Amino acid sequence: MTAQAKDVQGAQLTDFLEGNVDGEEQASIELLLSDPAVRAEMEAARAGRDLLSELGTKPTPQNFLRKVQRRVRRKSGGRHFHPAQQPFGFGLSIEVFVVVAVAVMAACWMILDIGRQTIQYDVFIPPTVERPAPTIKQPTVLPAPLPQKVTPPTTPPPASP
């Protein structure tokens, strides 16, 4: 058997093992499997696959992300994941901090503005009353003072004896 034919046969057997063959192909593979050598090879492949099904994936090691960040920092000469970029030490970069700060300031400004408008509406404005325009009194000319009467001095009555 040529190498190419062996490759084709191997691919067919893999398809058969994984159940990816249709009826016609299955019949031809079953004919192939009547050969004891091919059957033995097929069983070995099946056993190999079953061995690996017992293996699981390993969980992510502890602090994996931190280790990767440290390596990136070292490789980039401190350009990425530098501690100085984390003002609070919990992974918040300076750009994120600035954006959050601006958003908080905007929110505060809006809240204060709304409060101011509310106060304006609450102010009691008394109704205006139509009043006549005040009349200005013209200064009147006072009459000349009357001449005072000279009254004779009154004598007290004589005392009775």
Stretch that binds another protein, among 37-45, 87-95, 98-106, 125-133 (CB under 8 A): 37-45
In the list 25, 35, 75, 82, the residue contacting another protein (rule: CB under 8 A) is: 75
Q: Which is nearer to another protein, 68 or 100 (CB)?
A: 68
Which range in 1-9, 85-93, 113-121, 134-142 contacts another protein by CB under 8 A?
Answer: 1-9
* 51/44 Cα distance (integer angstroms): 10
**67 touching another protein, by CB under 8 A:** yes
Does residue 68 touch another protein according to CB under 8 A? yes
Binding of another protein by 144 (CB under 8 A): no
Instruction: Classify residue 97 by burial, with Cβ atoms within 10 Å: 0-12, 13-18, 19+.
Output: middle
81 and 69 Cβ atoms separated by less than 8 Å: yes
Amino acid at 156: P
Q: H helices within 55-148, ranges in order?
A: 64-75, 94-122
Please work out the total of residues on this chain that contact another protein, with binding judged by CB under 8 A.
35
